[in-house]
Amino acid sequence: MVSCTMRPEDLKALRDQQPFVPFRIVFTDGRSFDILHRDFLMITKHTLEIALAPDAETGVLEKIVHASPLHVVRVELLQPTPHSA
């Protein structure tokens, strides 16, 4: 588990590491989102765009969550999955 204030640059480094390791982002309001593939997280200076629940057959996303990196309280590393590349 990585616990501290996460800058956008820190999240980008975690997302872009090779090989990719899935992780969970936990926010100040208690919500958490699993990033199971690097393509499911877009990072800007002031926002995170998190893709949720892509359809297994079509790959079409259910929705996008918009969040602030200022509200990330921790990141938890998850077990790699066969589709995490």
Q: How many CB atoms lie within 10 A of CB 4?
A: 10
* pLDDT reported for residue 80: 72
pTM over cut 0.95? no
**Nearest Cα to Cα of residue 45 among 16, 14, 11:** 11
63-67 sheet: strands from edge to edge? 41-43, 48-52, 63-67
State residue 45's pLDDT score.
Answer: 93
Each residue's pLDDT tens digit, 16-72: 999 999 999 999 999 999 999 999 999 999 999 999 978 888 888 889 999 999 999
